[in-house]
Amino acid sequence: MKRLILATRNTHKVTELRAILADAGLGPEAIELVGADAYPEIPDVKETGVTFAENALLKAHTLARATGHPAVADDSGLCVDVLGGAPGIFSARWAGRHGDDKANLDLLLAQLADIADEHRGAHFACAAALALPDGTERVVEGRLTGTLRHTPVGTGGFGYDPVLQPDGETRTCAELTPEQKNAISHRGKAFRALAPLVRELLG
């Protein structure tokens, strides 16, 4: 069985990607998907790129070279229209410390406190990359557009999910079931587009 490394130690992302790839015909019977925590000796990759695609490729190539296995990585974030696309690649560390979801959310809502509903457009963006140990690479992107709520709603998901209400929805991403979210999410779209490339390159 082929092993595919997911370049993250975020268990939410590993679970989410397993479900997305399984829906695309790459279930556990076809491919063994493991997170980067299976390789604790490999240090975290510094995200020095200036785009989602650059960061995703950087992480995927680093893991592929270090493990000798194909690796997939994503870089994703929230892009707010009135903030000129910020937080963008800084989404996970918007409040200054990487991965503090509550602090990031609180800061963003404070920055947008006086912004009227009609100007609260935003989208989640995701670049998903596949890298092989020989340097072969592929990258695709996905997007989920919506509007930002004034207060967080819902307990599912993570990150900025409780404040983004997707277009055509009355609920936030955090109120959707994992299956509903995967069907429309930026990450779901990107990894579904990547799945046939994984199948092609891994045979």
Q: Which residues are catalytic?
A: 75
127 forms bridges with which residues in the sheet?
75, 141
In this structure, how many other beta carbons lie within 10 angstroms of the beta carbon of residue 99? 11
At a CB cut-off of 8 Å and minimum separation 6, what does 87 contact?
Answer: 77, 78, 79, 80, 94, 104, 108
Q: Distances from the Cα of 152 to the Cαs of 6, 99, 109, 162, in angstroms?
A: 29, 17, 9, 5
> Do residues 156 and 177 make contact, with C-beta atoms less than 8 angstroms apart?
yes
Helix, strand and coil in the chain, % to nearest 5: 40, 25, 35
> Do residues 181 and 22 make contact, with C-beta atoms less than 8 angstroms apart?
no
